[in-house]
Chain A
Amino acid sequence: MSASAQLQIQRALAPRSSAAGLAISEPAVVRWLLVGIAIAFLGIFLFLPLVVVFATAFQQGIDFYLRAFQDPDTLAAIRLTLLAAAIAVPLNVAFGIAAAWLIGKFDFVGKSLLITLIDLPFSVSPVVAGLTFVLLFGLQGLIGPWLIAHDVRVVFAVPGIVLATIFVTFPFVVRELLPMIQSQGNDEEEAALTLGASGWQTFIRVTLPNVKWALIYGVILCNARAMGEFGAVSVVSGHIRGLTNTVPLHIEILYNDYQFVSAFAVASLLALLALMTLLVKSLVEWKAAQQFAAQSASEAEQTP
Chain B
Amino acid sequence: MLDNVVDSDALKASSVTIRTIFRRLRRTPVIPVFLLSLVVFAGVFAPWVAPDNPRKGDLRARMAPPVWVESGTVEHMLGTDHLGRDVLTRVIYGAKISLIVAAVTLSIGGTVGVVLGLMAGWYGGWIDEIIMRLVDIALAVPLVLVALVMVVSIGKDFPDWLGGQTGLIVLVLASWIWVRFARIVRGEVLQIKNMDYVALAKVAGASTPRILAFHIFPGVINTLIVVATLQVGWVILVESTLSFLGAGVPPPTPAWGSMVADGRDYLAGAWWISTMPGVAILLTVISLNLFGDWLRDKLDPRLRQLAAD
A and B found bound together: no
